[in-house]
């Protein structure tokens, strides 16, 4: 499984970021440009994930995104796990939105 640090992911121009956290987690902190598909609905919403570009997957700390990355890879998606999730993204001082609704 391929992984990338939050700093490396943030440096990718026009990165397609998939956030697999639950809705209530997005209310705490989120990336404005990320696409949200909770891990539990990823199988039925697979057609929403692009196949013609790299997909960078994130969750809270890296566990669920690793599962999603492995699944997407088996489905022919070029998926890369963002190690450490949004927790590490925040610790790295990268831009995110705190609070508010999706």
At 102 the pLDDT is 46
Given 18, 57, 59, 79, the catalytic residue = 59
Q: Which domains does the chain have, with CATH numbers?
A: 3-98 (3.40.250.10)
pLDDT tens digits, 8-42: 999 999 999 999 999 999 999 999 999 999 999 99
Q: What is the pLDDT of residue 99?
A: 84
Outline where DSSP puts E strands in the chain: 3-4, 16-19, 29-30, 35-36, 55-58, 79-82, 97-98
Q: Hey, what are 2's tokens?
A: 């391929």
| 101 noted as active-site residue | no
Q: What is the mean pLDDT of residues 40-48?
A: 98
> To which residue do tokens 């925040």 refer?
90
- Say if CB 67 and CB 28 are below 8 A apart: no
DSSP H or E segment with residue 69: helix 63-74
Structural tokens at position 64: 């669920």
pLDDT of residue 101: 53
């Amino acid at each position: 499984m391929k992984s990338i640090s939050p700093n490396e992911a943030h440096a990718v121009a026009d990165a397609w970021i998939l956030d697999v956290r639950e809705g209530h987690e997005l209310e705490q902190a989120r990336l404005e440009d990320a696409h949200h598909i909770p891990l539990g609905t990823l199988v039925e919403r697979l057609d929403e994930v692009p196949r013609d570009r790299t997909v960078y997957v994130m969750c809270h700390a890296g566990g669920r995104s690793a599962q999603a990355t492995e699944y997407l890879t088996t489905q022919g998606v070029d998926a890369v796990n963002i190690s450490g999730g949004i927790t590490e993204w925040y610790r790295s001082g990268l831009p995110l939105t705190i609070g508010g609704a999706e």
